[in-house]
Structure 1
Amino acid sequence: MLRRAFAAAALAVASLPALAVQPFTADYQANYMGMQGSGRMVLASAGANKWKYTLDINSPLATLSQSTVFEENGGQWRPLSGNDSTNVLTKKTTKIATYDWSRGVASWTGDVKPERAGPIKLEPGDLDALLINLAIVRDVVAGKPMNYRMVEDGRVKQLNYTVAGKESITIDGKAQQATKVVSSSGNKQTIAWVVAGMPVPARILQRKDGADEIDLRVQSTR
């Protein structure tokens, strides 16, 4: 999901058929570290079988901009490159990811520690954090296991989401039924709400040490 929030298990992603990818724009109400702001997700064509997926969050405290270019390859979504820029008060960081599938490795440049520059060996089905947002929706709809190997920020992390029931969620003033899914790892937890027919989660909540860090609630999609 978010790059540090969202990201092969019993049934690897590599074996799951990808739903048809369609362009969209989703506007969110954002709460970042207690400050209200706005967010937007956009999926747009980047050429033959390639797509660019972006997430921008703006608040009085910080500006975050994340993007990934990926391709549809044999029923899989494969990340090709990523850009992660964060501006919190006066501190700005930028990290650039390259997923070289011909060599089978991922690497990072920019404001990264030497031990996080890679290369890291890629495996079929690997995703970056943003792509997990799309994979969750795909797999909830298909009733598939939500187990992902995330290659992100110079690390490999296994993320496992489980269904935590159904909840009503308000979108554009209307109540919608959503499937709630949860992933916990150490002191971090990510919760997402998936609504049928919506290409991205209707809400994404990232928590750390039991406190809300980032909360995105969809306002409209088109």
Structure 2
Amino acid sequence: MTLVRKFALLPLAAALLVSLAPTADAAVQRFDGRYTASYKGLSASARMTLTPARNGSWMYLLTVDHMLAKLSQATVFQDMGTQYRPLGGSDRSSYASIQRGVTTNYNWAAGQARWSGDVKPTRAGPVALRAGDMDALLINLALARDVPAGRPLSYRMIENGRARPMNYRVIGRERVTIAGRNYDATKVAQGGAEKQTIAWIVAGIPAPVRIVQRENGATTISLQMNSWSR
């Protein structure tokens, strides 16, 4: 999915903590957001966290818990000031006895991204990298950064063995309530009638406060923030 396509368990976190030179930019801060989630009619709890990793890098983790399934996505990235550079990703899911896991490796020195694990050979890469490329999770952070600043909302997403443009547009404003407090949110959307993602962005909150994905007019995935903290 554009912003929240897949969910997963995270046994591969240690493999994602890639050694890098530390960054001088300190714009990224710790974040812990709690959400109510819905996936094709199933209700669950969800959590997004931003935590420091090694040598100035960060881990952005999304987890979704349901009694029948545990899902999560994780990305280790470097804050470049005006860009978030992905270094590695893990996308895993567990449903009953069925488990699936995909790991993404970004080799910026070689300019390539590759995928391993439960992935088709045609989706294993390599895909040529360009400056500014991000995965779906990092686009969440980019939207939270760029919408309040009035920046262009055009990105290139690297996912599932391919690269594609993701162009968002502002579609309105809406009042939202989080933990009993009201906020003014900007609504942005990407896609069209067949498949669309809508995100609600509040200035000062470093992740979308709501995300909805629709297919042919029906909501398939929804995340609604209940609370957040640093």
User: Given the two structures, how large is their TM-score scaled by the length of structure 1?
Assistant: 0.89
Find the partner of 1:88 among 87, 90, 95: 95
What is aligned with 2:46?
Answer: 39
Distance (whole Å) between structure 1 residues aligned to residue 57 and residue 226 of structure 2: 27
1:61 Cα deviation after fit: 4.4
SS of 1:115's partner is helix
* 2:216 is the counterpart of 1:173: no
SS of 2:204's partner is coil
Distance (whole Å) between structure 2 residues aligned to residue 25 and residue 37 of structure 1: 17
* 2:149 is the counterpart of 1:147: no
User: Given the two structures, how large is their TM-score scaled by the length of structure 2?
Assistant: 0.86
Residue segments in structure 1 that go unaligned for 5+ positions in a row: 5-17
Find the partner of 2:163 among 153, 156, 163: 156
Q: Which residue identity is paired with 1:202?
A: V
Given that residues 26 and 221 in structure 1 are in contact (C-alpha distance below 8 angstroms), is that contact kept between their aligned partners in structure 2?
A: yes
SS of 2:105's partner is strand
Q: Which residue identity is paired with 1:138?
A: R
Q: Which residue identity is paired with 1:124?
A: A
* 2:130 is the counterpart of 1:123: yes
Q: Provide the alpha-carbon RMSD of the alignment.
A: 1.8
SS of 1:139's partner is helix
1:72 Cα deviation after fit: 2.2
What is aligned with 1:221?
Answer: 228
Q: Which residue identity is paired with 1:154?
A: G
Which of structure 1's runs of 4+ aligned residues deviate more than 6 A?
none
1:66 Cα deviation after fit: 0.5
1:62 Cα deviation after fit: 2.9
1:76 Cα deviation after fit: 2.1
Q: Which residue identity is paired with 2:4?
A: L
SS of 1:201's partner is coil
**What is the count of residue pairs matched by the alignment?**
210
1:40 Cα deviation after fit: 0.3
What is the percent sequence identity of the aligned residues? 48
What is aligned with 1:107?
Answer: 114
Residue segments in structure 2 that go unaligned for 5+ positions in a row: 7-24
Distance 1:178 1:74, change over 3 A: closer
* 2:61 is the counterpart of 1:54: yes
SS of 1:198's partner is coil
What is aligned with 1:25?
Answer: 32
